[in-house]
Structure 1
């Protein structure tokens, strides 16, 4: 699991190209309990990767964001696109931040990689009382037949399993989790779909023959669906968001 959790730096460009953005409404919902009357908040984005969620947080306006990730290569990509953001090497279980340094902490596509008890305690230390922990995932909607078939070719992820099992959990000093979901779709080309697959930890760490099998299976599916070069498919997504407030 550790190898897969820290594998993404090998595919930073695929991650940027293939992974979807986060709906602004969902990102704002994550932070609502911590926002001041002027909409301002100090946010630490943990497991920030290339900055997908970081940029969405900045887009809300009024937020200042520090990005934390264990992979310096991912952070370098983030800083190249978002130079105004402070980028810090660290983990959810060991944050290089002072006590009560932030109003909110967010993790996009990342909580399934952490020790939830240790991470809850450490993030709680770095947040002020009343601060909010926000967790968010974009998950392909496998109720659609071709998406279900695509997932079979690529293999599932720990995140998808955690959400399907309703197993997302946070611990002290945080209170109960609230959950909301948003359904939407993204038009994707064949190249973007291949980049999405290439950015997944299972594929990054797979042997070359397995990578070739996955790429071949995807192309066979896309040919069947009539997805030619320059064409797009509507990829249906469910954004699952969770938030919990730090106790006093």
Structure 2
């Protein structure tokens, strides 16, 4: 499998994991997050389960349990960790066992897991502190799997969305979204995660996995998901409504629906010892 070379992307002066305000903003509408956010390809779940020595899984940044439910469906026993009590409460309502903590400060209390997984979350975790904690929680030959969904609409629609963001929120990250392929940005997150792993003893050299898939969205489905994205969770309501109106009009002009092309990228490694 391909491995990730060190330092493929420059380090940001303001790393995502230091921006806890955004990390803790997703629970502002946990019901919408749970309803609207996409899940992950079954092939990814199957591969993680097959590569793990057992079926006891720790889900870091579990949110409302989107990832956890996929692993439970694969007959795994899952414990979730999340920093946001609102997200954790909803996950518990869905039947998931969750502990509320920042992962770097969480205490495994002697428990060992066959896999530590994290979907769309690890960039909110200190890459070295998180890898260190994962090493403490994994049994020998256990798998660490960190993954993200990178979505890319067709170029014409991407430009129409970007035009809305540039008009309403010109200085935002969203205004620069899709100026390069989305998968490049998430591959850079994989590279940062891999750098953190390499600084911790006891892991094999990280590998990168990729799974390509598609999902069709109606106008209403996309507008339901949009406020759950980090660029919009703290946007003033008036500006959010302006964004939703502009994006909705762009989708209407494209026929009322569109296909999002996703690449799910993952960085994985095996716990090579117990020290």
TM-score tier after normalising by the smaller chain length: 0.7 to 0.9
For structure 2, list consecutive stretches of 5 or more residues without a partner in the other structure.
1-18, 166-173
State yes or no: 1:41 paired with 2:55. Answer: yes
| CA gap 1:68/1:2 in 2 versus in 1, 3 angstroms | same
Corresponding position of 1:13: 31
Corresponding position of 2:119: 108
Matches within 5 A, 1:122-133: 122-133=133-144
SS at match of 1:237: strand
State yes or no: 1:66 paired with 2:79. Answer: yes
* d(CA) in 2 for partners of 1:119, 1:112: 10
Matches within 5 A, 1:77-226: 77-81=90-94, 83=95, 85-99=96-110, 101-142=112-153, 144-147=155-158, 149-150=160-161, 153=164, 155=174, 156=177, 162-165=185-188, 167-170=191-194, 171=197, 172-173=200-201, 174-226=203-255
**Please, which of 19, 22, 26 is the counterpart of residue 44 of structure 2?**
26
SS at match of 2:105: coil
SS at match of 2:117: strand
SS at match of 2:225: helix
* d(CA) in 1 for partners of 2:218, 2:154: 21
Give how far 1:239 is off: 1.1
| CA gap 1:145/1:65 in 2 versus in 1, 3 angstroms | same
Give how far 1:29 is off: 1.7
SS at match of 2:191: coil
* d(CA) in 1 for partners of 2:184, 2:264: 15
**Alpha carbon RMSD of aligned pairs, Å?**
2.2
TM-score (norm 2): 0.78
| CA gap 1:8/1:197 in 2 versus in 1, 3 angstroms | same
* d(CA) in 1 for partners of 2:99, 2:244: 34
* d(CA) in 1 for partners of 2:187, 2:88: 30
* d(CA) in 1 for partners of 2:159, 2:38: 18
SS at match of 1:206: coil
* d(CA) in 2 for partners of 1:207, 1:161: 29
| CA gap 1:110/1:153 in 2 versus in 1, 3 angstroms | farther
Corresponding position of 2:267: 242
SS at match of 2:131: helix
SS at match of 1:176: coil
Corresponding position of 2:168: none
C-alpha contact (below 8 Å) 1:162/1:168 kept by paired residues = no
* d(CA) in 2 for partners of 1:111, 1:160: 16
* d(CA) in 1 for partners of 2:143, 2:163: 36
For structure 1, list consecutive stretches of 5 or more residues without a partner in the other structure.
none
